[in-house]
Amino acid sequence: MRQNEIETNESGIEKDVPSILTKRKILPGDRVLWVIVAMFFAISLVAVYTASSKLGFSDGTMDSELRRHFGTLCASAAILFGFYILGASLMHKFTWLAYLGSFVLTLIPYFQAPINGAHRWLEIGGFTFQPSELLKIATIMLLALRLSERYHIIKKIHLMPTTFDVRKWNSERERKVIFDEMLPIISPIAFTCMVILPDATSSAVHIFFVSMIMLVLAGIRFNEIAKLILVAAVVGLSVMFTFGRGDTVIRRVGSWMGIERFVEAEDGGSKDTYYSKMAIQNGGFFGVGAGRSMMRTKLMHPESDYLFAIVVEEFGLLLSSVIILLYLWLFFRSLRIFERCEWLYGGLVAVGLALLVTSQGFLHISVALGILPETGQNLPFLTHGRTGMFCASVAVGIILSISRQSEQGTLLPPSQNNKDKHI
């Protein structure tokens, strides 16, 4: 007999179970993630409103930006819930289609006139967005798919040929290594990085290192990952300085290091870094108060590229520490989902997307603190801009969907063999 209405104790006497246990769960899955998202949305509404004063003044009213961002948050919540109700099996089925579609969308801007000096943006129906952000999510999903399909040989997989003697690559053993082990794993990472690298170097480096951590979590040998990183560094630098923004990277790194000639060449970026540090210094522990930032009018993009600095200036280290803890909390909750997941695909997607979101947040924070050179990475779930908000909502919506199915016991691989299971 089910214990939803009556429970019998050891003496055989029946007693009522508290009615709260008989009620159906609302939003099954990891509810802590819902709390984290709600806190992000609340902080974002206040932070963007106070940081986007320049945008509001250009429209003649500050309320216009508040209404616009509130609409973005509502749409983000709808997107998050939409992906939450999807099943992992459905996402598994359409992983390839999602990757190919986002890859093509990322290529299109290279054949159009640049927007804001870069070929990152695509305009469809009056809505401008960065398709590379969707491609990063799709790459995580495709990599998880490829790794889960090979879980039974994961400890033996080679990411590089066993020999660099090209003449031996035609042997049966080497062909198996190259076409059955190496290319299926590294091709999604390589194609994604190559298409993003020319106009968004930091994004390409970001997705590459998130992918490397996924390989570690899946169980790929460390020596194979090290060889892949070495080869990727050589190829990536060659491509960047041949087709990409190598000069921009050199200027930003040189300006960050304080080399005078680079500081002069990268004057706008160096000033932003200086004003960002000033904002953090002004904020102290408690901040100067909401709407009282002095640096928001000096920074070029205080509502996006340097939002964390404005948060520290206005609300102090207290609230900024809460933001850092929320990102860490999100990651560790997703890591818990990974550990409990019976299907490797679902577990890797959950932890990979969490890594994507949280590491981007820490990249943004590191730039604001002057720890890293300028990258242009926004603060997920917080900064002004629909692309970042929507893509972060897609990522966490998928994580919540996997958590829901894992709790309900419906997160199972399409086939019932053991090769896709996470033990």
Question: How do 127-129 and 122-124 pair as beta strands?
Answer: antiparallel
Distance of CA 5 to the CA centre of its chain: 44
Is the torsion defined by CA of 72, 334, 98, 362 positive or negative? positive
How confident is the model at residue 410, as a pLDDT? 81
Contact 143, 183 (CB under 8 A): no
Closest CA to 210 of 222, 193, 227: 193
How confident is the model at residue 75, as a pLDDT? 93
204-208, 255-259, 365-369: range with lowest mean pLDDT: 255-259
Question: CA-based angle 89:142:79, to the nearest 5?
Answer: 60
Contact 182, 161 (CB under 8 A): yes
How confident is the model at residue 212, as a pLDDT? 95
How confident is the model at residue 145, as a pLDDT? 93
User: Is pLDDT larger for residue 202 or for residue 214?
Assistant: 214
Beta bridge partners of 118: 115
- 120-174 pLDDT, tens digit per residue, is 788 777 777 888 999 999 999 999 999 998 888 888 898 888 877 777 778 888 8
Contact 380, 206 (CB under 8 A): no
Is the torsion defined by CA of 208, 213, 218, 219 positive or negative? positive
- 284-332 pLDDT, tens digit per residue, is 888 888 777 777 777 777 777 788 888 888 888 888 899 999 999 999 9
DSSP state of 22: G
Residues in the chain: 423
Sequence-ordered alpha helix ranges (H) in 5-62: 31-51, 53-59
Contact 143, 214 (CB under 8 A): yes
Q: pLDDT tier at 253 (50, 70, 90 boundaries)?
A: low
pLDDT, mean of residues 233-239: 80
Whether residue 15 has pLDDT greater than 50 = no
Average pLDDT, the chain: 80
How confident is the model at residue 25, as a pLDDT? 65
DSSP state of 115: B
pLDDT, mean of residues 386-404: 92
b/e sequence 221-247, b meaning 16+ C-beta within 10 Å: beebbeebeeebeeebeebbeeebbbe
Cβ burial, residue 124 (10 Å; 0-12/13-18/19+): exposed
- 24-69 pLDDT, tens digit per residue, is 567 788 889 999 999 999 998 888 877 766 554 445 455 677 788 8
Question: How do 14-16 and 6-8 pair as beta strands?
Answer: antiparallel
Distance separating alpha carbons of residues 415 and 41, to the nearest angstrom: 39
User: Is pLDDT larger for residue 240 or for residue 279?
Assistant: 279
Amino acid, res. 134: L
Contact 79, 390 (CB under 8 A): yes
Distance separating alpha carbons of residues 193 and 197, to the nearest angstrom: 6
Cα end-to-end span (Å), the chain = 32
| Lookup: tokens for 215 | 């390989």
pLDDT, mean of residues 323-352: 92
Whether residue 4 has pLDDT greater than 70 = no
At residue 8, the 3 state secondary structure works out as strand
How confident is the model at residue 245, as a pLDDT? 59
Whether residue 244 has pLDDT greater than 60 = no
How confident is the model at residue 412, as a pLDDT? 76
Backbone angles phi, psi at 327, to 5 degrees: -65, -45
How confident is the model at residue 17, as a pLDDT? 38
Q: pLDDT tier at 10 (50, 70, 90 boundaries)?
A: very low
How confident is the model at residue 239, as a pLDDT? 72
pLDDT, mean of residues 4-9: 40
pLDDT, mean of residues 88-93: 84
Which residue matches tokens 């007693």? 15
Distance separating alpha carbons of residues 364 and 378, to the nearest angstrom: 6
% of the chain surpassing 70 pLDDT? 80
Q: pLDDT tier at 211 (50, 70, 90 boundaries)?
A: very high
pLDDT, mean of residues 238-253: 62
How confident is the model at residue 134, as a pLDDT? 93
% of the chain surpassing 90 pLDDT? 32
User: Is pLDDT larger for residue 232 or for residue 409?
Assistant: 232
Distance separating alpha carbons of residues 362 and 350, to the nearest angstrom: 18
Contact 84, 401 (CB under 8 A): yes
